[in-house]
Amino acid sequence: MNFGPSSAIDLYARKTEGFEQRVADTLAQLQQAAAEHPGQIVLANSLGAEDMVLTDLIARHQLPIALGTLQTGALNPETTALIPAIEQRYGLKVEVYEPQHEAVVHFVKTHGDKAMYQSLALRKSCCQVRKMEPLSRMLASRSAWVTGLRREQSANRGAVPHSEVEANGRTKFNPLADWTWADIWHYIDTHNVPYNALHDQFMPSIGCAPCTRSIAVGEPFRAGRWWWEDEAAKECGLHVKAADAVAA
């Protein structure tokens, strides 16, 4: 019996008009970013499909951009399996940043391991401990970072620029800003890029295990992230401007 597409590639990959130009533009942006920030730029790899495309571009073109990721201590095994897969496939070291053990123990002891479901404030506190603090260490010695943000991902990200200078003076590059989901998967299919197996389980946006679920047909791209919260709140803080964070 045929139950439909067997993989994310089968479901999403499709070549669309202008694809080659978007790839060329993204490569040019990465090359320029690396040249402007020699030895001080890192790809913050979430281990999702977008960041695997960027990883492949960096490796394929031997760009001097470091690879970093956050091992929050609450990721699915399918997610963490990509770290050795990247190192084996591309021969590149992935910098792994973990939360401070004492901070995690204190948070769980104080609020429980299901604190994220209790309130928005506690969920954001969990993100602060497991994501924001390790990210600050990843970026501490860097003048620039690269992300896989795309405008199509959510209303909150609909105006994502290709680059922006943050309040702290660090430059943030979003070279996939105008790519579509079909573009991402066409690239993955074309170049046989390793990807998170959870994408085959209808999880287009993947975070920590307690905060990620599969989405149903017709649901928004990020509906599986923090699904119990209001749509406007669905960011962990990694990609929220300082003013927005204060307002939240």
Any idea which residues carry the catalytic annotation? 236
Q: How far apart are CA 178 and CA 194, in angstroms?
A: 22
Q: Outline where the chain has alpha helix (H).
A: 8-12, 19-36, 49-60, 77-80, 82-90, 101-111, 120-127, 133-139, 181-191, 242-247
CA distance 241 to 69: 20
| Gap between the Cα atoms of 7 and 107, Å rounded | 37
- 54 is written with which tokens? 């960027």
**CB of 50 within 8 A of CB of 26?**
no
DSSP string, 180-231: -HHHHHHHHHHHT----GGGGGT-SS---GGGB----TT--TTTTBSTTS-G
Which residue, among 180, 169, 197, has the nearest Cα to 85 in the 3D structure?
197
